Every structure is written in C-alpha cells, then in structure tokens.
Amino acid sequence: MAQDEFVVLLGEEAEQSSPSEADNGEFVVLLGEDNDTVEASTDAKEGQVTLDLGSDGTVAAAADIYQQLAELDITAAKTVELLANGLSRTDTAFLQVLAYYAKYAKAAGVEVHLLGAEDGFTDVASRLDLERFLVYEG
C-alpha cells in the first residue's frame, strides 16, 4: 500500500518547481505571493535589529515573513524589534511563524519585541495561546 504525502511548498521558487499532479498521489499546496514588502534594518542602537512586518499578516504572507526572519543577522543582536503597527490583517499561520521565531531567537539569547500590535493581533495570539512567546511593546 502506497503512503500518501501532504506537501506544503512556500514561496515563489516552490511555485516554479512544483511536482505535477500525477506524481505519486501527492497533495501539493502552494503558498506565497509577493504582494507586500517587508523591510529589515539594523538600528543605530548597538545590538538591535528592526523588521517591519508590512500590512498583510495572513497565510499568503507567512512564507515571506519566514524568509525575512531567517535572513536576519542576529549574531550580534541583543533584541529584534518587529514593527506590527502596519498590520491590517492577522491570521494563525502568520502568528505561528512569529511565535516560532521568538522562541528560536530566545534560545539564541536574543529578545524579540513586537511594537504597535493592535487589539486584533493580540486577541488572535491570545486565543492561540501564543502570547507566552510574544513580548508586546507600545
């Protein structure tokens, strides 16, 4: 009996190299479009990295934010500030990426702070029990 697989491919590269539907009964979900720009910067304050989360905090942006967070150089950082004040929508996938990153960074000795998180953002995080990983400021 063949084992079915569930594959989730995130981002633009995945869309270009996706397997055909006839391949081994795999179910493939492609996510991610470049419809929002996320900007990262190193602040003048020593040891602080800032990332603007943009306006779209949905599953469509989860792959992009995951990539942006993975590319942040936190080797010399003490804190990472995630600017959430521009988010107009937030869903579970996006919050799970942020919570995972906060947990990862904390293990590396780096604090992650969310700045400007609106009530909708904090409400969804609370309902998912992700607030224990997220530190809010402002």
85 domain-assigned: yes
Q: What is the DSSP letter of 47?
A: T
* Residue 46 covered by a domain: yes
pLDDT at 26: 46
pTM, 2 dp: 0.68
Q: What is the pLDDT along the chain (138 residues), one digit of tens a residue?
A: 444 554 555 554 444 444 444 444 444 444 444 444 445 555 546 789 999 999 999 999 999 999 999 999 888 899 999 999 999 899 999 999 999 999 999 999 999 999 999 998 999 999 999 999 999 986
- Written as six digits, the tokens of 103 are 């947990």
Residue 25 sits at φ, ψ, to 5 deg, of 65, 20
C-alpha span between 48 and 13 (Å, rounded) = 30
* Whole-number pLDDT of residue 23: 43
- Domain annotation covers residue 73: yes
Distances (CA, A) of 104 to 2, 13, 49, 53, 122: 36, 25, 15, 18, 20
Total domain count for the chain? Answer: 1
**Residue 30 resides in a domain:** no
The token duo for 68 is 């942006």
- What CATH number did the domain enclosing 79 receive? 3.30.750.24
In a domain? residue 106? yes
Domain that holds residue 92: 41-136
Q: Is residue 109 part of a domain?
A: yes
Distance CA 138, CA 129 (A): 20
**pLDDT at site 36:** 43
Domain contains 16: no
